[in-house]
Structure 1
Amino acid sequence: MMKRKISVLLTSVAIAALAQAQDDNAAQAQEAAASAPADSVALTVPQVKPGECQALVVVPAKFEPRTEQVVIKDAAKSYEIVPAEYEWTEEQVVIKPASKKLEIVPAVFETVEEQIEVEPAMTTQEVVPPQYAEVKEEVVAKPAYMTARSEGPARTFSSAGEALRMVEVPAQMETITKQTVQEEARLNPTQVEAKFETVKKQKLVSEETTREIEVPAEYKTVKVKKLVKEAEQREKEIPAEYAEVTKFEKVADAQVRWESVLCNDTVNSKTIEAVQSALKKEGYKVSVDGSLGPGTMKALEAYQRKHNLGVGGVTRETLQAMGIEQ
């Protein structure tokens, strides 16, 4: 009868611990513990030394990640159009055909010197003036003349009067110098030679002619695009696309077990502060106040589940994992 009471008490403790589980693993452990017979839980009670405390804790199911390649897009076929290939080349294009034209070849001249008579030969007449000689000659300056000269009173006449006698007054002569022609004027002919001047003139060497000239064709270089390879169609395999998916595989079922815990009289504020500091270092939002309140318990259980520790109070296993001296 005493053994039956202990079994019922232990089963009640296990159910209470399972009720506090917060995730699916704890729920699975609760289901496993609830379905187990009361005697099987009671038989797992370890032998407790004096001064030690034991408590039932929930060990969540253990999962390990497995990476798998999952097809996210099936393989398929497609077609690829390979465009035609062209190349640019240069070609000479006639823009003006060859032709012929007539060209005038001008006349050819040469420069020659020629004596041109500018004044013909002639005979000039030089007048030789007459030659004179000076001679002295007496000339009548005043010719002789007859004049009446008074002879006194006339005695032959009865009447009184003066007697006149005609006398010849001789001519008055004057010596003059005069030019007399010694040699008559004459003409002296002089032969004047012809005058010539050297002039340069153009002498025709060849007449103006025409000749036929070939006019070459005119070309222009143009760029021409030529087909090198026809366009073609190719079948293309599109490979399947894969992605790595992490799946969690259960390697151990959830279970309820006895775990060594700190007794109420040994749990002091210093130990609780050490636990809170370790939780805060892990990133949990807790206050380091030495009080084992609901916030600290919630963070502690989350820590235990994360590290696959037994969930349910301040166990020695948890303190060891946190590196806290016991």
Structure 2
Amino acid sequence: MADPLSAASFLDALRGEGLHVVEVGDWRHHNRNTKGPWGPVNGVMIHHTATKGAERTVDICRTGYSGLPGPLCHGVIAKDGTVYLVGYGRANHAGLGDDDVLRAVIAETALPADDEASVDGNRHFYGFECENLGDGQDPWPAEQLLAIERVAAALCRRHGWTERSVIGHLEWQPGKPDPRGFTMASMRDRVRARLGTKAPATQPLPAPRRPIVDLSQLVAAARRDPAATGTPVTYAGTRTVEAALVDEGLLARQRLDGHFGRDTITAYAAWQRRLGYTGSAADGIPGRASLTRLGDKHGFQVVA
């Protein structure tokens, strides 16, 4: 049993274990703390998302959906091993679970069968959603399984927990199937072995290949006049930029449609002003410096 780590310590623990971490928007202050307590924390819970595609998965886990507002976890673990931080504090990931399971996690003993839902798990667990369809056929790449191992070990190491503080959603709440495709027993074995090392890995995992945004094409698209034809300007790679502007609170989510039109230009101009640009330098036409700053923060790469 422990107080939750500060957001800074949480991030430091993950990076200290060699993980490639992407911070999404204002993740440090995105939570459901107004709906109930956050802490004491007792363990780490692993889920699968039943979704496909890192960008879509991160968006859903950050914002939630009808009837279940986000964040739906603290971090999303993509298939390439990248960890996207989408919230911190109370998150809608665990729901009600078995009080006997919680007592076993606290005591770090073998888990009993989960046969009731009476305890608020959102209060007691760090939650990580892993990109996978959960159909038993969708593969779990080695990079993703290694990232799950490192995430769990990072938090156990920081709190002084053993691998028995790591559980799956299916071990907490009756009827839940996740994660499906590997066993939590095998993952706890991996975490135990990692915790047996004298120190965290000092060499981080190679940064996964990031989505690429072509600056020249983006500029050409932005300089077209969408009013001339009455339709938005379309640019194939813009959704990545639009998603970043949405996360920055500069673009309405309903404009996340793959077009670089007037609304996106206006939002990008606001991003330029946020960086300190004024006048013609904040006209909504992307420049290398401002686009690189956006890409570094939101996980895409800029090429000429």
Identify which of structures 1 and 2 has the higher relative contact order when contacts are C-alpha pairs closer than 8 Å and 6+ apart.
1
Range of TM-score over shorter length: under 0.3
- Give me the TM-score of the superposition, normalised by structure 1: 0.18
Judging by fraction of residues, say which structure has more strand. Answer: 1
- Give me the TM-score of the superposition, normalised by structure 2: 0.20
